[in-house]
Amino acid sequence: MSGDSNGLRPDLALITGWIKPGSRILDLGCGDGALLAHLARTRQVRGYGLEIDPDNIARCLESGVNVIEVDVDDGLRDFKDGSFDYVVMTQALQAMQRPDHVVSEILRVGRTGIVTFPNFGHWKVRLALARGRMPATPALPDTWYATANIHLCTVADFEDLCRARGWNVRQRSLMGHERRDEGALRLMPNLLAEVALYMLER
């Protein structure tokens, strides 16, 4: 997913508010580098993005974002324990071979992990499934046969995993499609959140 033309993707804008100025950041599946470029400008962070798509790598190079061609599914063995203030993964967790291993690696390499993913519990998803169809929503636009998303989960599933592994949720933010959803979102996150953002620590 790339940033829209007139600004940063909303989840990336929200993450920016979570990042302390001057920190060291690793962005897993950094896409075109929009988040890192934005954080470098507004938060003076030093960072690296990991990416495997050649077009995205070229875009990162074009905008001066440090990009390292590494498949996150192979683990983060090139990176030392606690060597980054934040390890961020936005909207890519569901495309990993083993999302649980990846989060575990995120929390090994980063002092803080930030993970965002599309909530498969959203009512539009449920509605589509209730009609007997794989969902195609704004957060999950691809057809079932062409999607990279192989490990989708709901907000409730993810929080179960965090509890089971002992990961501390330091912050959570849920985004619906409409701003006015906010109050309802708090009441029924698993039903109304389209995108979920978590700040995790060990």
Please spell the DSSP secondary structure of 18-83, one letter per residue.
TSPTT-EEEEET-TTSHHHHHHHHHH--EEEEEE--HHHHHHHHHTT--EEE--GGG--TTS-TT-
Q: Counting every residue, how long is the chain?
A: 202
Q: How many helices (H) and strands (E) does the chain have?
A: 8, 7
| 68 near another protein (CB under 8 A) | yes
Chosen residue from 8, 15, 67, 197 binding another protein by CB under 8 A: 67
User: What is the nearest approach in angstroms of another protein to the Cβ of residue 68?
Assistant: 4
Chosen residue from 53, 78, 81, 182 binding another protein by CB under 8 A: 78
User: What is the nearest approach in angstroms of another protein to the Cβ of residue 67?
Assistant: 5
Which residues of 105-181 form beta strands (DSSP E)? Answer: 110-118, 168-175
Nearer to another protein, 7 or 64 (CB): 64
Stretch that binds another protein, among 75-83, 90-98, 129-137, 176-184 (CB under 8 A): 75-83
Stretch that binds another protein, among 1-9, 55-63, 143-151, 170-178 (CB under 8 A): 55-63
Report d(CA 40, CA 34) in Å as an integer: 10
Nearer to another protein, 17 or 54 (CB): 54
How far are the Cα atoms of 43, 179, 192 from residue 183, in angstroms, in the given order?
Answer: 30, 10, 10
Q: Please enumerate in sequence order all residues whose Cβ is within 8 A of that of 187, keeping only pairs 6 or more positions apart, or say none.
A: none
Chosen residue from 16, 23, 46, 123 binding another protein by CB under 8 A: 46
How many of the chain's residues bind another protein (CB under 8 A)?
19
User: What is the nearest approach in angstroms of another protein to the Cβ of residue 60?
Assistant: 7
| 60 near another protein (CB under 8 A) | yes
Chosen residue from 61, 127, 134, 169 binding another protein by CB under 8 A: 61
Stretch that binds another protein, among 74-82, 98-106, 140-148, 162-170 (CB under 8 A): 74-82
| 83 near another protein (CB under 8 A) | yes
The SS3 call for residue 5 is coil
Q: Please enumerate in sequence order all residues whose Cβ is within 8 A of that of 49, keeping only pairs 6 or more positions apart, or say none.
A: 26, 27, 28, 30, 31, 33, 36, 60, 65, 66, 67, 68
The binding site for another protein (CB under 8 A) comprises: 24, 46, 48, 54, 57-58, 60-62, 64, 66-70, 78-80, 83
